[in-house]
Amino acid sequence: MKEDTPQPELAPNELCRKCNTEPAVLKLNLKEPQCRMCFLNYVRHKFRATLGSSKIVRRGSRVLVVFTGTQENVTLLDMIRFGLEQDSFKQLRIVPVLLYVDDEFVERTNETRLDLLAKRLDVLRQFINFPMYYTVSGSSKHVELNLDEAFVPSDFQADETRLTQALDALRSVSSKQDLLEQVRKQTYRKMASALDCNYVFLSDIGIDLAKMLLSNVALGRGCSLAQDVAFCDDRDDTVKLIRPIRDLNPDEISNYFQFSETPLRYLPQEKLFMEKPSLQNLTAKFIDNLQQSFPSTVSTVFRTGDKLDAPKAGPVAIGSKEESDLLALFDGTLTLGDNSSPAAVIDRCRFCGAALDYHGSKTLYATEYSRLVSSRINAACSHEDILQKSKQMELDAERAVNGDDGGERRALLKHLCHGCRNIFTDIND
């Protein structure tokens, strides 16, 4: 079954409806026929309008642009380059800094990783005029990239081992993918602060955000859902994550590559653990099938995120000294002293920066109580035993939800939101 909306067709020798002079080369869904230049101007205007209407990114700001080499990412970089080359009136007034965050060392041999790195650096050569830096996920170090010389990462073994051990400690693929995503975002913020950038540009488009929206609902990240798909993720007071091409769709991206003034190279998207069963992979397949059969529905899912609101936490920067990364929970280096949790930090997750959402939650209480019933009540229990245990289970469930049941493990969980708690509780015993 497919959507009944007729597919866009271009009549022979049809003129562009925008300029009425050049022959039309494409007709997007629900759009008038366009020539090549009018289409490129239309897509670039969507990018500039998204940035300009928000008035969040200030003129002359240093912006960290995350490089991945995908089709969407190269489109964003080409739009930035085009904007910088315009005259003074139309010029894009930012200072871009490119950053490649490498996580190819996870579940790949060193030979395969170096081969992929060489391919990504070849794509990066299209934007040789931008300053470029390299780091790995979870690291606080970075090195400058010189594409005139052969590059082999050699100073990040400790960071790679740390992240690999944390992933190996988790049981489910869903938790591993969620941990990787949160570590990447934390790395973006750390590198932005180190490189004196107040903004980070991500290349997520509408279909990517639709996948993230449904995945995060399944992962229990409802409190940060609005910020995870918004144009600006401002949970960190010093570094903001910006999604400037969120209004583009896959058809516009593919046509941009086809009709761009200069040939553009890219690499197909290859996310880690894509072939294994997980909540994220199942959601991605569902949205991809929806895009093929009912493309307008994907836009509806994505736009739902704009109607959500996220609770505000205290004004503490995620990259501040009081903040600790989640990987410290895995290697045992995170300790909570008497002064490690001031009042301004308590209402924020120690890892993702979202507002803490567990206190007094009836949903989490019911889930924990049901788990205790399944583990403590059996057919051999008498009626009196069940009544007695029920009262104790009510108290235990409330303490477990609020992190008040004692022990260092629960003391750490008390400083995490429900989504990050799910990662930590998935650790192999």
Output the six-digit token pair for 270.
Answer: 């290859």
Q: Edge-to-edge, what's the strand order for the sheet holding 61-67?
A: 143-144, 132-136, 94-102, 61-67, 199-201, 240-242, 232-233
Is 245:203 a contact under the CB 8 Å cutoff? yes
> 109 and 227 share a domain?
yes
Burial of 128 (0-12, 13-18, 19+ CB in 10 A): exposed
Q: What is the distance between the alpha carbons of residues 108 and 236, in angstroms, rounded to a whole number?
A: 33
Could you tell me the residue range of the domain that residue 379 belongs to? Answer: 326-426
Q: Does residue 334 belong to any structural domain of this protein?
A: yes
Q: Does residue 320 belong to any structural domain of this protein?
A: no
CA atoms within a 13 Å half-sphere pointing along the CA-CB vector of 153: 29
Q: Does residue 290 belong to any structural domain of this protein?
A: yes
Q: What is the pLDDT of residue 185?
A: 93
> 78 and 193 share a domain?
yes
Q: Does residue 105 belong to any structural domain of this protein?
A: yes
Q: What is the pLDDT of residue 196?
A: 93
Q: How would you write 80-146 as a 3-class SS string?
A: HHHHHCCCCCCCCCEEEEEEEEECCCCCCCHHHHHHHHHHHHHHHHHHCCCCEEEEECCCCCCEECC
Q: What is the distance between the alpha carbons of residues 103 and 143, in angstroms, rounded to a whole number?
A: 15
Per-residue pLDDT of the chain (429 residues; tens, 9 = 90+): 455 555 567 767 788 888 888 888 888 877 788 888 999 999 999 999 999 888 899 888 999 999 999 999 999 999 999 999 988 778 899 999 999 999 888 888 888 888 888 899 999 999 989 999 999 998 988 999 888 777 888 888 888 889 998 899 899 999 999 999 999 999 999 999 999 999 999 999 999 999 999 999 999 888 888 889 989 998 888 899 999 999 999 999 999 999 998 899 999 888 888 888 999 999 999 999 998 888 888 888 888 888 887 666 655 544 444 445 667 766 665 555 444 443 334 577 888 888 887 776 677 777 777 777 777 776 667 667 677 677 777 777 767 777 666 556 666 777 888 888 888 888 876
Task: Enter the pTM of the model.
Answer: 0.86
3-state secondary structure of 350: coil
Q: Which of 273, 306, 339 is the last residue of a domain?
A: 306
Q: Does residue 36 belong to any structural domain of this protein?
A: no
Is 322:342 a contact under the CB 8 Å cutoff? yes
> 150 and 260 share a domain?
yes
CB atoms within 10 A of CB 396: 16
Output the six-digit token pair for 101.
Answer: 């965050």
Which residue, chain included where needed, has tokens 């989490």? 364
Output the six-digit token pair for 385.
Answer: 């035993």
Domain count, the chain: 2
